[in-house]
Amino acid sequence: MKTSLKLLTLAATIGVSQLAPAATPIYVIRGNGDLSFYKHAGTYGGTVDWPIQNSKIGTGWTTNAKKVFAGPNGSIYVIRLNGTLSFYKHTGTDNGAASWAVQNVTIGSGWQNFTKVFAGDNDNIYAVTTTGDLLLYKFTSTFNGVNNAPNSVPINGLKIGTFWNVFSTVFAGENNTIYGIKPTGELLYYRHTEPFKNAVNYIVEAKQIGIGWNVFSKVFPGEDGNIYGVESNGNLRFYKFTGTYNGAFKWAVQNKLIGSGWNTPVNVFTSTD
Q: How many residues does the chain have?
A: 273
Which pLDDT does position 242 carry in this prediction?
A: 97
Which pLDDT does position 3 carry in this prediction?
A: 46
Which pLDDT does position 141 carry in this prediction?
A: 78
In terms of Cβ atoms closer than 10 Å to its own Cβ (0-12, 13-18, 19+), residue 120 is buried
Tell how far CA 125 is from the center of its chain: 11
Q: Structural domain boundaries of the chain? A: 5-270
Q: What angle do CA 158, 168, 36 make, to 5 degrees?
A: 90
Q: Determine how β-strand 35-40 pairs with β-strand 52-58.
A: antiparallel
**What is the helix (H) or strand (E) element at residue 12, kind and residue range?**
helix 5-14
Tell how far CA 245 is from the center of its chain: 19
Which pLDDT does position 22 carry in this prediction?
A: 84
- The sheet with strand 187-192 has its strands ordered as 169-172, 177-181, 187-192, 202-210
How many CB atoms sit inside 10 A of residue 45's CB?
17
Residue type, 49: D
Over residues 184-208, the mean pLDDT reads: 95
User: pLDDT tens digits, residue range 62-112?
Assistant: 999 999 999 999 999 999 999 999 999 999 999 999 999 999 999 999 999
Residue 20: pLDDT band with limits 50, 70, 90: low
User: pLDDT tens digits, residue range 136-188?
Assistant: 999 887 767 676 554 555 788 999 999 999 999 999 999 999 999 999 999 99
Predicted structure pTM score: 0.89
Dihedral over alpha carbons 120, 124, 127, 128 (to 10 degrees): -70
Query: 15: which residues sit within 8 A by CB, 6+ positions away?
Result: none
Distance in angstroms (rounded) separating the CA atoms of residues 156 and 163: 20
Distance in angstroms (rounded) separating the CA atoms of residues 22 and 110: 35
Residue 190: pLDDT band with limits 50, 70, 90: very high
Which residues are paired to 25 by β-bridges? 39
Distance in angstroms (rounded) separating the CA atoms of residues 48 and 22: 14
Which pLDDT does position 21 carry in this prediction?
A: 74
Q: What angle do CA 115, 171, 131 make, to 5 degrees?
A: 30
Distance in angstroms (rounded) separating the CA atoms of residues 156 and 136: 7
- Please identify, in words, the CATH class of the domain defined by 5-270: mainly beta
